Amino acid sequence: MKKILMTFATIVAAMTASAQTKMNDNMITYHKIQVEDCNVFYREAGAKDKPAVLLLHGFPSSSHMFRGLMPELSDEFHLIAPDFPSFGQTESPSREAFTYSFDYLAKIVDKFTETIGLTKFAMYVFDYGAPIGYRLAMWHPERITAIVSQNGNMYDEGLGKKWEARKAYWKNPTPELRQQFSSAFALETIIGQYTFGTPEGCVGPDGYSLDFYYVNLPGRAEMQNDLILDYRSNVALYPDFQKYLRDNQPPLLAVWGENDPSFIPAGANAFKRDLPNAEIHFVPSGHFALESHHTEIARLMREFLNKVIR
């Protein structure tokens, strides 16, 4: 009897240790790592032997936008979500010491992946994270196992009407217009980005309140103004991004908030032109679709990624 009890105790201890290991693997942990002149903050969850997914946030957000998605997927995937320079908790050099352009942000993210040893990964790209991620894919097509684009545009027809004014600014970037586009950092504007087109009562104040705090840190507004002007470099690269798709045919899932006024549904449907096998889904939400539909998006991601990278 004593021997049986000892054996039972050993089994229970082993099961407990296994459960604790699983729990620890699935927990979100928080880190900083030096990448050139930037001390990059990132969130991580899931065992490192699982398929990797790099999560790239948008404007004016940070890796905080993935706080609901990561627990949904950490049992099957290794998830890494960095904050870009001038966003979130990443320590940002001054404009005199650092070029706030999408090319340079992409280079920092590229070196970040190399620094943490990420050699093969799928990407979740959203808003600003899309042209950053698409640059990584063009530079290293062999590293990309799949792409999940959530309102991450690369087609002219995906640009909503608001971009007409920005295109005029890009052609004639006067100081007056630069000041005018600083309205993008106003609390009312940020709240609108989160709530427009989303079912009433489905978006909490946490995300937009934190975003407003970050964009108003000292020096951040001018850094962000540099990026608003440099967004023209992303539109100029649309033909190159599309060529990457045609040449490499990466598995792609587009999950779009169908009421987004910035990147409209035509941008999601356009993926089919270059990727006939692309999967396209719409959710009844706006720009920040994860705020209201992270469980549905996680389900679609899980089904898609398990098909294409297992």
Burial class (CB in 10 A: 0-12, 13-18, 19+), 83: buried
Alpha carbon distance, N-terminus to C-terminus of the chain: 45
What tokens appear for 251 in the block? 């598995």
In this predicted structure, the answer to whether residue 172 has a pLDDT above a threshold of 70 is yes
- Report percent pLDDT > 70 for the chain: 92
Interval 111-166: pLDDT, tens: 999 999 999 999 999 999 999 999 999 999 999 999 999 999 999 999 999 899 99
In a domain, 20, yes or no: no
Q: What is the reported pTM?
A: 0.91
**Does 102 score more than 60 pLDDT?**
yes
Q: Is 291 left (phi over 0), alpha (psi -120 to 50) or beta?
A: alpha
For residue 167, being part of any structural domain is answered with yes
What is the average pLDDT score of the chain? 92
Phi-psi region of 155 (alpha: psi -120 to 50; beta: other; left: phi over 0): beta
Q: Is 118 inside a domain boundary?
A: yes
Domain at 293, CATH number: 3.40.50.1820
The domain tally of the chain equals 1
Nearest to 198 by CA among 163, 151, 162: 151
> Is the per-residue pLDDT at 6 higher than 70?
no
- Catalytically active residues, by annotation: 287
Digit-coded pLDDT (tens) for 11-26:
434 544 444 444 467 8
Helix (H) or strand (E) holding 295: helix 290-308
Task: Answer yes or no: is pLDDT of 171 > 70.
Answer: yes
3-state secondary structure 25-47: HHCCEEEEEEECCEEEEEEEECC
In-domain check, residue 152 = yes
Give the burial class of 269: count Cβ atoms within 10 A of its Cβ; 0-12 exposed, 13-18 middle, 19 or more buried: middle
In a domain, 12, yes or no: no
Sheet with 252-257, strands from edge to edge, namely 29-35, 38-45, 78-82, 52-56, 121-125, 144-149, 252-257, 279-283
* Residue-range definition of the domain harbouring residue 272: 26-308
| 219 within some domain | yes
